[in-house]
């Protein structure tokens, strides 16, 4: 009885709105003549595809820096890793993606440590600072994408164009490697059934499990404790600043891995301004999952990513059926994601 | 030279960007007359918006990313004005009338939200801006035409629902403020002066107080000046709406000299007291030097090539005076106290929440007017894009001028607008000259806009983390 009461106390109005919206969209799909199976397949794919980027919020929130709007730092690290891996011309997709992740995570963890050092200096205003650090890093990388000396034909504009392409196809390198691993179709064949990207889901769940284990390790517990109560942990001999740096670095490298997993499922690497607002989406997703700016769990990640991405995956075709060629789902996403962030901010102190 | 070092130290950001601008102008090799003409257009276009940021800084709410919401209020009014077919200054007045209550209401809402998130106003403002943008898109894409019947092929997407991407303002609102002639402004100002003095005199008489000499001067001067405007030479000069920069500079130099001479006259002869002549004489000397500078060929060429819209510039100057005057009022002092310490303000009996809401209302309203000025000058209204970058660029400009989260003045705002927009004008060309790629210059200026905000926010947070607690703020 107590636990049920607790759960109900946690559910707030925005969450109810989102769940109701999601369910009503799903209910509207079948009468409109849409394939519910393909919608469910889309939801599954987008859930696992964005999942790791949402998971990246957990170490940041737990270590006390709050929702990491500066995840763009990790994202550009991952994009750099992926582009270097393509430039190397690795033909085996598995080698290519692992090289991309390793390079990406390395760059991201170095950036993450520096970023953590900065965030230690600006305690109390992490969110504002990290948002603008994220924006500036994307703007800086725009200059870099134009001028880095890459030469592979898939990366750069053809015919004496300057710099790298906006969308880089990765079908020839590591596109869909996870998606197609052990994939199968439920309740029907390839065109009518639910496509289950088993490999992708496994990778996402494995990352969640790894994070779950980490949070229960000695370092993980120390990190969460430092995030929750810095004074107390200082008395216990734990360096809060060090824990915050660890949390930031892990969050940033997860961002790098996350964008690569995202790209392999999408089939394209998106450079330039494409990742500008991804930080906001990830923050919104974990907040929808029930996290606050002070506390986040793996369950929040799984639920949040599912609701946020599922809502988009279902709303897009449903709305398009009613109002063709509209970008209403996009508008709804802007309203919902920023609304939930505002709601979470109003429940916490400091910016 | 401790004073010189202090001067450099206090203005290091502005100096750094000044050097960057000079370097960029030098590399870009744009003709200076072009840069100057563009720059003065952009000051007129954006100056008001940047100055709208000052009051929330004073009230301790940091940089107001929520001015986007003020811009949205303006755009709602512009849409309906264009739809109803009002043009020219009539249309602009209608825009003002329509947008003002909307902006006040929005400002009140934003203030309410910020009061729930004290200490997180900046991130809240940023997210609130995005949130409002979503609602704005919902309104313009689906409600207009969908729920509110609107029939206009020029404004509405061919399906009948939703507003088109761009609305052309040429022929209705373009230059509706810029083109107001000086004569008209003068007439209005004189009429107001006359009526106010008359009213005061009547009230004075009713309280059995005979009107003083000031009153008589006011009542006499207004018709005389009005009569003067009928001198043909003066009339042709005043009936234009653009002022040659050369004339503006000469007028400003003349005003400096006249003001200083008046101060000398006042302090030495009319009310003799201890008064050092060094300062006024230095000012007069500087003005004289300035006068000679206007005769140098390249400078003269610039001064002769730029024509500034007088009315718009008067609005900007007026806002500078308003910002300065507000500080002297009780409300301004309350805001400053709230900005320094809410606890102290509360103990002193100031209603903290109310003061903060008033600050937000003023800032949102000014931002709304600023967006009206921007739109009438630029002449095309990009329905879904005009407001999105407003906060970003206005804040970056303010910071480039050397302002911070805690302190921002008129001077910093004006310097910031000049430096930031110079960089904006020459960056693409400089990128082309240096790297053979104009896109690079474009990305560079975006990077500057984001980077300067990031650095400034980080520096501020850093300082605050080192020395917590209320600090004395130099004014």
- Between vectors from CA A208 to CA A207 and to CA A209, what angle results, nearest 5°? 90
Tell me if A351 is assigned to some domain.
no
In this structure, are residues B59 and B338 in contact, taking their beta carbons and an 8 Å threshold? yes
Residue from the list B127, B437, B451 with its beta carbon closest to the beta carbon of A342: B127
Model pLDDT, residue B321: 92
Residue from the list A125, A139, A328 with its beta carbon closest to the beta carbon of B457: A125
CA distance A237 to A226: 10
Q: Is A294 on the interface with B (CB under 8 A)?
A: no
CB contact under 8 A, A350 and B113: no
Residue from the list A118, A129, A335 with its beta carbon closest to the beta carbon of B138: A335
What mean pLDDT comes out for the span B436-463? 79
User: Chain B partners of A143 at a C-beta cutoff of 8 Å?
Assistant: 440, 443-444, 447
Model pLDDT, residue B475: 36
Residue from the list A123, A131, A323 with its beta carbon closest to the beta carbon of B123: A131
Compute CA A24 distance to the chain's CA centroid, rounded to the nearest angstrom.
Answer: 25
What mean pLDDT comes out for the span A60-78? 89
Structure tokens at B216: 């008589």
CA distance B271 to B279: 18
CB contact under 8 A, B128 and A124: no
| Three-class secondary structure of residue B156 per DSSP | strand
Tell which of A64, A143, A320 to mutate to test the B interface (max B CBs under 10 Å): A143
CA distance B78 to B71: 11
- DSSP 8-state symbol, A69: G
Q: What is the ipTM of this complex?
A: 0.84
In this structure, are residues B460 and B406 in contact, taking their beta carbons and an 8 Å threshold? yes
Tell which of A76, A114, A132 to mutate to test the B interface (max B CBs under 10 Å): A132
> CA of B208 to nearest chain A CA: how many angstroms apart?
57
Model pLDDT, residue A2: 67
What mean pLDDT comes out for the span B79-107? 91
pLDDT in tens, B354-369: 999 999 999 999 999 9
Is the pLDDT at B320 greater than 90? The verdict is yes
The pLDDT confidence band at residue A323, using thresholds 50, 70 and 90, is confident
Tell me if A8 is assigned to some domain.
no
Model pLDDT, residue B472: 41
CB contact under 8 A, B123 and A127: yes
In this structure, are residues A132 and B454 in contact, taking their beta carbons and an 8 Å threshold? yes
In this structure, are residues B371 and B383 in contact, taking their beta carbons and an 8 Å threshold? no
CB contact under 8 A, B113 and A142: no
Is the pLDDT at B469 greater than 50? The verdict is no
Which CATH number do you get for residue A185?
A: 1.10.3470
In this structure, are residues B119 and A350 in contact, taking their beta carbons and an 8 Å threshold? yes
Q: Is A148 on the interface with B (CB under 8 A)?
A: no
Q: Among residues of chain A, what percentage have pLDDT more than 90?
A: 17
In this structure, are residues B122 and A128 in contact, taking their beta carbons and an 8 Å threshold? yes
pLDDT in tens, A292-316: 888 888 888 998 898 888 888 888 7
Tell which of B60, B68, B114, B134 to mutate to test the A interface (max A CBs under 10 Å): B134
Q: Is A127 on the interface with B (CB under 8 A)?
A: yes
CA distance A270 to A168: 7
Residue from the list A162, A334, A349 with its beta carbon closest to the beta carbon of B133: A334
Instruction: With CA atoms as reference, report the closest residue to A109 among A99, A101, A97, A98.
Output: A101
Q: Is A335 on the interface with B (CB under 8 A)?
A: yes
Q: What residues contact B13, with CB distance under 8 A and at least 6 apart? A: B399, B400, B401, B402, B452, B456
Question: Which of A267-281, B130-144, B432-446 is the most confident on average?
Answer: B130-144
Residue B242's DSSP bridge partners are: B309
Which residue blocks in B229-381 are alpha helix, DSSP H?
232-238, 245-264, 278-293, 297-305, 310-328, 330-340, 342-347, 352-378
Sign of CA dihedral B184, B188, B193, B194: positive
Q: At what angle do helices A240-266 and A93-121 cross, to 10 degrees?
A: 150
- DSSP 8-state symbol, A156: B
Distance set, CA A219 to CA A105, A224, B318, B339 (Å)? 20, 9, 59, 41
User: Chain A partners of B140 at a C-beta cutoff of 8 Å?
Assistant: none
Tell me if A2 is assigned to some domain.
no
The pLDDT confidence band at residue A153, using thresholds 50, 70 and 90, is confident
Instruction: With CA atoms as reference, report the closest residue to A172 among A78, A242, A268.
Output: A268
| Three-class secondary structure of residue A247 per DSSP | helix
CB contact under 8 A, B439 and A163: yes
Model pLDDT, residue A104: 92
Tell which of B114, B443, B445, B463 to mutate to test the A interface (max A CBs under 10 Å): B443
Residue A156's DSSP bridge partners are: A164
Tell me if A43 is assigned to some domain.
yes
Distance set, CA A176 to CA A172, A327, B367 (Å)? 10, 27, 48
Residue A227's DSSP bridge partners are: none
In this structure, are residues A300 and A91 in contact, taking their beta carbons and an 8 Å threshold? no
Is the pLDDT at B473 greater than 60? The verdict is no
CA distance B142 to B153: 16
Instruction: With CA atoms as reference, report the closest residue to B419 among B445, B442, B440.
Output: B445
CB contact under 8 A, B440 and A147: yes
Phi, psi angle pair for A133, to nearest 5°: -65, -40
- Between vectors from CA B309 to CA B308 and to CA B310, what angle results, nearest 5°? 100
- DSSP 8-state symbol, A157: P
Q: Is A218 on the interface with B (CB under 8 A)?
A: no
Distance set, CA B220 to CA B117, B188, B216, B415 (Å)? 54, 16, 6, 39
What mean pLDDT comes out for the span A248-277? 89
The pLDDT confidence band at residue A329, using thresholds 50, 70 and 90, is confident
In this structure, are residues B339 and B54 in contact, taking their beta carbons and an 8 Å threshold? no
Give the DSSP H or E segment for B134. helix B121-138
In this structure, are residues A119 and A65 in contact, taking their beta carbons and an 8 Å threshold? yes
The pLDDT confidence band at residue B75, using thresholds 50, 70 and 90, is very high
Model pLDDT, residue B356: 92
Structure tokens at A314: 């279902």
CB contact under 8 A, B461 and A128: yes
CB contact under 8 A, B439 and A342: no
The pLDDT confidence band at residue A325, using thresholds 50, 70 and 90, is low
CB contact under 8 A, A334 and B457: no
Relative to beta strand A167-169, strand B242-244 is unpaired
Model pLDDT, residue B272: 76
Structure tokens at B94: 């209608």
CB contact under 8 A, B454 and A136: yes
Residue pointed to by tokens 């040429």 = B170
Give the DSSP H or E segment for B380. strand B380-382
Is the pLDDT at B467 greater than 60? The verdict is no
Sign of CA dihedral B231, B236, B239, B241: negative
In this structure, are residues B402 and B415 in contact, taking their beta carbons and an 8 Å threshold? yes
Total structural domains in chain A?
1
- Between vectors from CA A45 to CA A42 and to CA A48, what angle results, nearest 5°? 145
Is the pLDDT at B470 greater than 60? The verdict is no
User: Chain A partners of B130 at a C-beta cutoff of 8 Å?
Assistant: 280, 334, 338
The pLDDT confidence band at residue A160, using thresholds 50, 70 and 90, is low
Residue pointed to by tokens 């020029």 = B154
Closest chain A residue to B115, measured at CA:
A346
The pLDDT confidence band at residue B100, using thresholds 50, 70 and 90, is very high
Phi, psi angle pair for A276, to nearest 5°: -55, -45
Tell me if A4 is assigned to some domain.
no
CB contact under 8 A, B124 and A342: yes
Strand intervals (E) in A174-328: 184-186, 194-196, 268-270
In this structure, are residues A254 and A52 in contact, taking their beta carbons and an 8 Å threshold? yes
Residue pointed to by tokens 């988009």 = A312
Residue A40: HSE in the Cβ half-sphere, 13 Å Cα cutoff? 13
pLDDT in tens, B132-166: 999 999 898 888 887 888 888 788 887 778 888 88
CA distance A88 to A99: 10
CB contact under 8 A, B120 and A142: no
Is the pLDDT at B461 greater than 80? The verdict is no
pLDDT mean across residues, chain B: 85
Q: What residues contact B428, with CB distance under 8 A and at least 6 apart? A: B438, B439, B441, B442, B445
Residue from the list B124, B137, B450 with its beta carbon closest to the beta carbon of A132: B450
Tell me if A169 is assigned to some domain.
yes
Q: Which domain holds residue A252?
A: 13-344
Largest CA distance in chain B: 78
The pLDDT confidence band at residue A255, using thresholds 50, 70 and 90, is very high
Tell me if A41 is assigned to some domain.
yes
CB contact under 8 A, B127 and A351: no
Is the pLDDT at B474 greater than 50? The verdict is no
Instruction: With CA atoms as reference, report the closest residue to B388 among B342, B449, B332, B333.
Output: B449
Identify the weakest region by mean pLDDT among A142-151, B64-73, B130-139, B246-255: A142-151
User: Chain A partners of B437 at a C-beta cutoff of 8 Å?
Assistant: 146, 162-163
CB contact under 8 A, B141 and A118: no
Q: Is A350 on the interface with B (CB under 8 A)?
A: yes
Q: In the A/B pair of chains, how many CB contacts fall below 8 A?
A: 139
Q: Is A328 on the interface with B (CB under 8 A)?
A: yes
pLDDT in tens, A185-204: 766 666 677 778 888 888 89
Closest chain A residue to B112, measured at CA:
A346
User: Chain B partners of A135 at a C-beta cutoff of 8 Å?
Assistant: 450, 453-454
Tell me if A6 is assigned to some domain.
no
- DSSP 8-state symbol, A70: G
Distance set, CA B384 to CA A312, B84, B138, B380, B425 (Å)? 21, 20, 11, 12, 23
Q: Is A348 on the interface with B (CB under 8 A)?
A: yes
Residue B441, judged by CB atoms within 10 A of its CB (0-12, 13-18, 19+), counts as: buried
């Amino acid at each position: 009885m107590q636990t049920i009461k607790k759960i109900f106390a946690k559910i707030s109005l925005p969450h109810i709105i989102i769940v109701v919206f999601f369910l009503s969209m799903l209910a509207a799909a079948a009468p409109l003549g849409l394939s519910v199976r393909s919608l469910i397949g889309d939801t599954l794919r987008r859930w696992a595809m964005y999942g790791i980027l949402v998971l990246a919020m957990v170490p940041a929130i737990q270590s006390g820096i709050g929702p990491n709007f500066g995840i763009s730092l990790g994202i550009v690290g991952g994009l750099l890793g992926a582009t270097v891996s393509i430039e190397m011309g690795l033909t085996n997709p598995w080698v290519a993606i692992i090289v991309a992740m390793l390079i990406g995570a390395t760059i991201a963890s170095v950036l993450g440590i520096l970023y953590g050092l900065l965030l230690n200096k600006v305690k109390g205003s992490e969110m504002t600072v990290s948002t603008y650090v994220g924006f500036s890093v994307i703007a800086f990388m725009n200059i870099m994408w134009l001028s880095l000396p890459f030469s592979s034909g898939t990366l750069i504009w053809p015919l004496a164009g300057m710099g790298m392409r906006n969308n880089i196809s990765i079908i020839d390198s590591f596109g869909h490697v996870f998606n197609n691993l052990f994939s199968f179709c439920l309740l029907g064949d390839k065109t009518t059934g639910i496509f289950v990207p088993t490999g992708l889901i496994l990778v996402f769940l494995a990352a969640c499990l790894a994070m779950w284990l980490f949070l229960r390790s000695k370092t993980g517990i120390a990190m969460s404790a430092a995030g929750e109560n810095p004074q107390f942990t200082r008395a216990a001999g734990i360096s809060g600043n060090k824990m915050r740096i660890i949390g930031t670095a892990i969050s940033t490298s997860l961002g790098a891995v996350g964008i690569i997993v995202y790209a392999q499922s999408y089939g394209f690497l998106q450079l330039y301004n494409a990742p500008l607002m991804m930080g906001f989406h990830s923050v919104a997703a974990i907040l929808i999952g029930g996290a606050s700016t002070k506390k986040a769990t793996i369950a929040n990640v799984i639920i949040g990513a599912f609701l946020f991405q599922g809502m988009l995956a279902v709303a897009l075709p449903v709305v398009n059926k009613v109002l063709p060629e509209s970008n209403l789902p996009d508008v709804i996403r802007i309203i919902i994601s920023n609304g939930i962030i505002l709601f979470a901010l109003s429940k916490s102190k400091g910016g | 030279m401790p004073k010189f070092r202090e001067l450099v130290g206090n203005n290091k950001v502005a100096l750094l960007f000044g050097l960057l601008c000079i370097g960029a102008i030098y590399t870009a090799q744009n003709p200076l007359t072009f840069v100057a003409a563009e720059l003065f257009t952009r000051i007129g276009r954006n100056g008001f918006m940047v100055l709208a940021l000052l009051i929330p800084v004073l009230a301790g709410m940091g940089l107001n990313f929520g001015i986007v919401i003020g811009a949205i209020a303006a755009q709602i009014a512009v849409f309906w004005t264009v739809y109803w077919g009002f043009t020219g200054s009539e249309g602009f007045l209608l825009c003002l009338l329509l947008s003002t209550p909307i902006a006040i209401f929005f400002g009140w809402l934003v203030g309410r939200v910020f009061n729930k998130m004290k200490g997180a106003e900046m991130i809240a403002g940023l997210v609130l801006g995005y949130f409002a943008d979503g609602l704005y898109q919902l309104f313009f894409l689906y409600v207009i035409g969908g729920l509110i019947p609107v029939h206009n092929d020029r404004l509405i997407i061919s399906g009948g629902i939703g507003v088109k991407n761009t609305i052309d303002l040429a022929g209705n609102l373009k230059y509706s403020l810029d083109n107001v002639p000086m004569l008209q402004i003068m007439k209005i100002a004189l009429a107001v002066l006359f009526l106010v003095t008359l009213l005061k005199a009547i009230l004075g008489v009713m309280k059995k107080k005979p009107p003083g000499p000031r009153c008589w001067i006011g009542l006499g001067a207004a018709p005389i000046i009005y009569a003067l405007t009928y001198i043909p030479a003066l009339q042709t000069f005043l009936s234009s709406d653009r002022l040659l920069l050369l004339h503006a500079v000469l007028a400003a130099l003349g005003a400096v000299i006249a003001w200083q001479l008046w101060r000398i006259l006042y302090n030495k002869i009319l009310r003799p007291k201890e008064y050092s002549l060094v300062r006024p004489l230095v000012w007069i000397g500087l003005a004289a030097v300035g006068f000679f500078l206007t005769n140098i060929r390249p400078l003269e060429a610039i001064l002769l090539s730029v024509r500034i819209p007088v009315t718009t510039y008067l609005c900007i100057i007026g806002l500078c005076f308003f910002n300065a005057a507000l500080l002297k009022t009780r409300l301004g002092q309350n805001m400053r106290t709230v900005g320094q310490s809410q606890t102290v303000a509360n103990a002193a009996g100031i209603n903290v929440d109310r003061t903060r809401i008033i600050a937000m209302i003023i800032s949102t309203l000014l931002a709304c007017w600023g967006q009206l000025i921007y739109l009438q000058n630029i002449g095309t209204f990009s329905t879904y894009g005009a407001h999105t970058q407003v906060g970003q660029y206005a804040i970056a400009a303010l910071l480039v001028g050397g302002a911070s989260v805690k302190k921002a003045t008129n001077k910093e705002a004006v310097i910031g607008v000049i430096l930031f927009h110079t960089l904006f004008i020459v960056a693409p060309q400089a990128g082309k000259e240096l790297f053979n790629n104009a896109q690079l210059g474009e990305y560079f200026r975006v990077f500057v806009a984001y980077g300067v905000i990031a650095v400034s926010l980080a520096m501020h947070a850093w300082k605050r983390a080192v020395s917590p607690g209320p600090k004395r703020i130099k004014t």
